[in-house]
Amino acid sequence: MEETYKLKGVTPKSWWSCLIFKVEETYKLKKLMKYIITESKLENVVIKYLNKMYGDLEEYKTDEHPDSVFFVKDKKIYMEQDLENDDLWIDYYTIWKDLRNTFSLEDNEIQSIITKWVEEAYKLRGVTPIIDLWI
């Protein structure tokens, strides 16, 4: 048997007004949050995120690929530095896609932020981050 509950003093009209108010307030809050993160430099937020998620990658070199330095964690390769031409291959399915989905960034923004991040975190200067679908 279905039970119904009545709230004292709440009419369908006042309930609807309350719901509309809640939706409007939620929209205003989301808009404000977007403004705040934009004003607080999204780049810095993303770099902090990268440090937290991928800041503990270890360099790995192998005789099989002497012109590459791999950046790994738990036996997974996240980045590969090509020493011959200064390309930095970034795993699309983890780092690149993560930034695109989490922060709604465009590829050129991701490339710029990763460039700054690897300079700070891994002391890699002059490298060009590139999407890699095969790491």
Distance CA 111, CA 109 (A): 5
The domains of the chain are located at 10-40, 42-132
Structure tokens at 6: 């009545």
When computed from its CA atoms, the radius of gyration of the chain, rounded to whole angstroms, is 23
Q: What is the pLDDT of residues 61-120, one digit of tens each?
A: 999 999 999 999 999 999 999 999 999 999 999 999 999 999 889 999 999 999 999 999
Contacts of 91 (CB under 8 A, 6+ apart): 77, 78, 79, 132, 135
Whether the model clears a pTM of 0.75, i.e. scores above it, the answer is no
Please count the other Cβ atoms lying within 10 Å of the Cβ belonging to residue 7. 8
Distance CA 75, CA 53 (A): 16
Structure tokens at 66: 């002497």
30 band by pLDDT with thresholds 50, 70 and 90: low
